A and B are shown apart, each in its own frame.
Chain A
Amino acid sequence: MKVLMKPIKMIAWFEENGKLMPIRYQLENSESEKISVNVDKVLLMQEEKLAGNKMFIYKCQSVLNGLERIYELKYELYTCKWFLYKM
């Protein structure tokens, strides 16, 4: 996996226990086309507190161009921004 750290548009929901879950996001491919990706499965969720800055890391699985791929998303609590972290 390569580190990308690309800001993305995201639809996410909060579960009853307050857990934030990514559902669907928008990506720009190499031809600058916008493609929507469904988050099929969240495999792992981790909290990170580096430099005192809270972020949540989600290891996810989605079908991209007919291929099942594993990648990581990041959510920064303080700025409320979503990133495509690694793919």
Chain B
Amino acid sequence: MTRTIMHIDVNSAFLSWTAVHMLQHGSSIDLRNIPSIIGGNQATRHGIVLAKSIPAKGFKIQTGEPVFQAKQKCPNLVVMPPDYFLYMQCSSALSEILQNYSDKIQLFSIDECFLDYTGIEKILGEPIKVANQIREQIRKELGFTVNIGISTNKLLAKMAGDLKKPDMTHTIYPEEISAKMWPLPVEDLYMVGRATAPKLKGMGIHTIGDLANTDIELLKYKFKSWGLMLHAYANGIDESPVHPGSGHTVIKGIGNSTTVYFDVIDKQTAYKVLLSLVETVSMRLRFSGFCCSVVAVSLKTDELISSSHQKKLMTPIDCTNAVFKEVKSLFDEMWRGQPIRQMGIRVSDLYTKDYIQLSFFEENWDKQRRLDKTIDEIRIKYGSNAVIRSSFLWSGLSPLEGGVVDEFPVMSSIL
């Protein structure tokens, strides 16, 4: 059966949400009409551009670049801080409206949703007419604009939604692929990023059409299974269903990273920052009910050079101290004394805790596990800073670093 899928994407989400919130509170300026960005705090070095207005785009300001660089491009740039609580509120108001149109809605990220419209045509009418109605309702009630892409699968709907912004409805039905999607540059294809695009261009593949018409065997030879997926996507083939809810049920790894507000140059401080990350990651690991058997550490130096190191463990672990022990040894192996700007740790290869193969030759973490359980319970009951390690006292560092904003929808790259 032919499906009808809609992809709803908020135009410059963080920026327009902040703009609408300000207007609602009496602001005379609409951030969307002036060069403006949503940016992190520069003092703590979290200053990157999270979202930009369309006039800011005119100054060639890009999402992800440092705020100070954006300010150099446009000295009158207005910088507003992010407000994640507001964004979650906007996101849930959006999905509340969408629920009037279908029962199958997948929150793909905080500002994107898929809506399965299959079969509802008979009740509510033509998809394009209804999409325009949805856009109108969102603009009127919530005050921001969205783009809606319509097609027969999630991939094409998403590609259609990205065609021309803002506040528009587009379709890319299978018969329109060659006219609407194939002339686009290959980096516009979903899942072709800054690593894949140069490789494809090196092979003489510049447009999505080039990729679609490339010999599949060649792609398979160069990119393995990834190549097959790219070829399918370029031809508009995608069978993934709309998963109601957030759709992300499988956790493959848990990680946190932090940009330190100064450059870390000594081992003791680096250990402390890593420990603060281990505290949150291992707590999240235990709360999700898993043990991990791969631990990875990543560093970014003051010259923005990244490196990472990982280790496979014999016995799966979930203890703060056990993870920290591995993290320390990985860090010692990779660090050559360069000033560090950013540190991250990640645990993966997760196992459920039901059965764990223990080893004679490794430490028994049983006692530690009981301690972790107690600490976790205290932190749940009295707040995460109720018990902290004394090494963080007067260190100027946070005892628990990273973590996720509660219930903030996670990003995914899986359709």
Contacts and interface: CB of A to CB of B under 8 A. Distances in A.
Given A3-B26, A50-B23, A53-B86, 12 more contacts: A4-B26, A5-B25, A50-B21, A50-B142, A51-B21, A51-B93, A51-B143, A51-B144, A52-B86, A52-B89, A53-B21, A55-B24
A52 B143 CA distance: 9
B20 interface: yes
A42 to B, nearest CB: 20
A83 interface: yes
Contacts of A83: 26
A49 B142 contact: yes
Given A51-B89, A52-B90, A52-B93, A85 B26 contact: yes
Interface in B69-96: 86, 89-94
A50 B26 contact: no
Interface magnitude class on chain A: 10 to 19
A5 B143 CA distance: 18
The 6 closest A-B pairs by CB, nearest first: A5-B26, A52-B93, A50-B143, A52-B89, A51-B20, A50-B24
Interface of A: 3-5, 48-53, 55, 83, 85
Residue of A4, A48, A50, A51 with highest tally of chain B CB at under 10 A:
A51
Nearest to A48: B24
Contacts of B89: 51-53
B331 interface: no
A53 to B, nearest CB: 6
A55 B143 CA distance: 13
Residue of B25, B90, B93, B142 with highest tally of chain A CB at under 10 A:
B25
A54 B73 CA distance: 37
Secondary structure of the B contact surface, majority rule? helix
Interface of B: 17, 20-21, 23-26, 28, 86, 89-94, 141-144
Contacts of A48: 24
Contacts of A50: 20-21, 23-24, 141-143
A7 to B, nearest CB: 10
A53 B20 CA distance: 10
A52 B28 CA distance: 20
A5 B28 CA distance: 11
A48 B25 CA distance: 12
Contacts of B143: 50-51
Nearest to A3: B26
B92 A52 contact: yes
11 contacts: A49-B142, A50-B23, A50-B142, A51-B17, A51-B86, A51-B89, A51-B90, A51-B143, A52-B89, A53-B24, A53-B89
A53 B25 CA distance: 11
Nearest to B85: A78
Contacts of A55: 24
B42 to A, nearest CB: 25
A83 B90 CA distance: 22
Contacts of B24: 48, 50-51, 53, 55
Residue of A48, A49, A53, A55 with highest tally of chain B CB at under 10 A:
A53
A52 B26 contact: no
Contacts of B91: 52
A48 to B, nearest CB: 7
A15 B143 CA distance: 30
A55 to B, nearest CB: 7
A55 B28 CA distance: 18
A55 B89 CA distance: 13
A50 B25 CA distance: 10
A50 B90 CA distance: 8
Nearest to B20: A51
Contacts of A52: 86, 89-94, 142
A27 to B, nearest CB: 16
A49 B89 CA distance: 11
Contacts of B26: 3-5, 83, 85
A50 to B, nearest CB: 4
